[in-house]
Amino acid sequence: MALVTGAGGGIGREVVVDFVNRGYSVLCWGRHPPIDRVAGADYVVCDVSDPVSVENATLGLRTRYKRVDVLVTSAAILKTMPLHRMTDDVWNEMISINLTGVFRACRAVLPFMIEQGGGSIVNLSSVHAIATVPGTGAYAATKGGIISLSRQIAVEYADHGIRSNSLVVGSVDTAMSTLHGEELTRDSVTVVVPEGTIGRMADPREIARAVAFLAGDDASFVNGAAFTVDGGLTSRLM
């Protein structure tokens, strides 16, 4: 069974579609009831920024599924503004969903994976953890934290047969990316996108296939990695 958080988002939904097509039983956690459900997947309203919501969803998970083979944490928000104008509320909201939400989801499934003797965790990070643009301070901080947290889990739980990796994702054609571009324009931030193939945006399905690789047995020797899937974006100097 695979559990996917942020399952209603552009990447999350394609991860769900891909997993269903591969024969997984899939449970989707999202802050709101899904508008566009994936046939064959189950849905539970769960806000990973709310510890009570996660606790209740976890109780239901244990009652219905008994085990969790794969966790994919895709839930995230992105709000763009310079740090000197960023309020505590904006900062705390992004930390709560993007980073603490990953911690809570991992904490929820680790007992299942320990009991069953294994499992795979894939936490979605971003190129902003490595190389960023103005206005994304909180987002970049959360995505850098995800890389470190994923490595920590790998070290602590490898002897239980649990693998934990982060996926460092580049530009992807999603509603979040569109909103990010609009907010950069609002703040008069100009980002020059590289021309040609290096600068292209990914289809969310390309990210879903990378997630499936890390989740599956073909990646049995991949643990604690920050697996970059960015079309070469962070390899380009200028």
The C-alpha atoms of residue 77 and residue 43 are separated, in whole angstroms, by 20
Nearest Cα residue to 165 out of 197, 133, 196, 211: 211
Would you state the structure tokens that stand for residue 227, as one six-digit string?
A: 């697996």
The C-alpha atoms of residue 147 and residue 153 are separated, in whole angstroms, by 10
Nearest Cα residue to 161 out of 223, 91, 234: 223
- Rg of the chain taking only CA atoms, in angstroms: 17
Name the active-site residue from 24, 43, 65, 139.
139
CB 176 within 8 A of CB 236: no
Would you state the structure tokens that stand for residue 180, as one six-digit string?
A: 């990010």
CB 48 within 8 A of CB 29: yes
The C-alpha atoms of residue 45 and residue 15 are separated, in whole angstroms, by 18
* Whether residue 139 lies in the annotated active site: yes
Give 31-74 as a 3 state SS string: CCCCCCCCCCEEEEECCCCCHHHHHHHHHHHHHHCCCCCEEEEC
Residues identified as active-site: 139
